[in-house]
Amino acid sequence: MGGFYICPAVCLAVTLLLAVIIPSQADEPDWVDYQNLSLDILSHLIRFDTTNPPGNELPLMKYLSRRLKKEGVHCEIFKSDLNRANLIARCKGDGSQGAFMIAAHADVVSVEGQKWNYPPFEAVIDDGYIYGRGAMDDKGMLALGAAVLIMLKREKIPLSGDVILLVTADEEAGGGKGIQWMLRRHPDKLKADFALNEGGRIYMNSDTVQYAGIATNEKVTYNARLTASGHPGHSSVPNEYNAVYRLAGALKALEEAEMPGHLIPPAREFFAGLAPFEPNIRYDPVRDEVTTSIRRYNAMTKDTFIPTMLQASVKNNILPEKAEAVINCRLLPDSDPEVFFQYLREIINEDSILQLDYIRRREPQMPTSPTTSDLYLAIRETVSRFWPNALCLPSISTGSTDSGKLRKAGIPTYGLLPFPLSSEDSGRMHGPDERLKIEDYYTGLRFLYQLTIEIAAASEKE
């Protein structure tokens, strides 16, 4: 339970800091009370098993709606299917400014096949961490967004524009029952000048915040199916037309392939800003190239592909007629999928026996959110107040989030989880023993609250 203890000196420092940051507020929030509130909300959210599929987000939405309505926050639930739902909570402003949206998703990825040391849906607290599926992705941000709306109500903060909490279903499966459904059915409910979502990181190095990477764009996901054909029969009489061997050869060729890289503008600015302070990154502005051994940085510079699922025979003594692999591909937002998949076909020497297929879709190029907007500038200002020595850089998300759909709908959206994360903890996302350090989670509450005040409080606009 060490995460609940806060050193008196730290409390004093935070109080003095916030007295400077929010001079318009006569009384400081009771941070210990709000921290406990936010942790209680997160614990409840983790205990809802919203593994997608099937998602089953409706019970969580009902809980969250009850909790927010009790505080006087207006909430609406939008059912997109049986036990699937989205939620919009809103604190009204005076209308002198546009709305600020905080977005988060309620569904989580599966824990199947993973060895957890802590039950993934019990929100266990141990040694200053809270463990559970979704703690980082994305119930931590969701809980903080809910806590901030409650704070706005309790503290009676006058707002220039609405502050919206958008909670979506189905993000982990593409958003068909979530953000895409909401944009089709209820676009008027999502009107906002800008939005904050997951995607970027406040990155810690040796317990010090090194930089905040604000995602202004993200990679695009495609799932391809690689199929090898063979001669079926009894496994006691092997033949030379074995689908599994042919598939394995193609996968080996993909593993050994070199993917050319290129930099899109936010990635270029990110590496140009970080390279002087990071010995594992070399940025050559003449060649416009980045050299690094760090995987998460390499993924920002090139299209990637990796096999994630395999399927062959239905029984151990039957030679399969087909062997298949799902190749998960993440393309930079300006990449042409036709060119990319033609490159993969050349790598595997595609023919009538070995074929690579993907679902073609016509989409406009992913827009990049500007670094001149009020929200981006407010994020930079808030980062500099919390961590004066930290860099603040535009970035791209290597994963696909709801942000891409919001950007295409005309809402400039910025990715930044509001709590600091180490590379070790960040690497647990989608993996076993996902966790959040409670002290850093509390910092995220103060950060998101201050950012909301910066962008939406009426007193800040006078």
> What distance, in Å, lies between the first and last C-alpha atoms of the chain?
43
Whether residue 403 contacts residue 199, with contact meaning beta carbons closer than 8 Å, is answered with yes
Q: Report which secondary-structure segment, H or E, holds 59.
A: helix 58-70
CA distances (Å), origin 405, targets 184, 221, 308, 328: 11, 13, 25, 20
Of 57, 170, 171, 218, the active-site residue reads 171
Tokens 């409706």 locate to 58
Whether residue 417 contacts residue 434, with contact meaning beta carbons closer than 8 Å, is answered with no
Whether residue 446 contacts residue 31, with contact meaning beta carbons closer than 8 Å, is answered with yes
Measured between alpha carbons, how far is 247 from 348 in angstroms, rounded to an integer? Answer: 9
Measured between alpha carbons, how far is 152 from 143 in angstroms, rounded to an integer? Answer: 14
Asked if omega into 53 is within 30° of 0 (cis), the reply is yes
Asked if omega into 40 is within 30° of 0 (cis), the reply is no
Of 57, 107, 193, 460, the active-site residue reads 107
Q: Which of 39, 42, 50, 57 is nearest to 139 (CA)?
A: 42
Backbone phi and psi for residue 88, each to the nearest 5 degrees, phi listed first: -125, 120
CA distances (Å), origin 103, targets 29, 111, 263, 391: 24, 24, 27, 24
171 labelled catalytic: yes
155 labelled catalytic: no
Whether residue 58 contacts residue 124, with contact meaning beta carbons closer than 8 Å, is answered with no
Residues 6+ apart with CB under 8 A from 70: none
Tokens of 139: 């119930």
Q: Which of 225, 278, 268 is nearest to 250 (CA)?
A: 225
For the purposes of burial, counting CB atoms within 10 Å of the CB of 145, is it exposed (0-12), middle (13-18) or buried (19 or more)? buried
Q: Give CA 5 to chain center in angstroms.
A: 29
Tokens of 29: 């929030």
DSSP 185: H
**Which conformational region is residue 298 in: left (phi greater than 0), alpha (psi within -120 to 50 degrees), or beta?**
alpha
- The catalytic residue positions are 107, 171
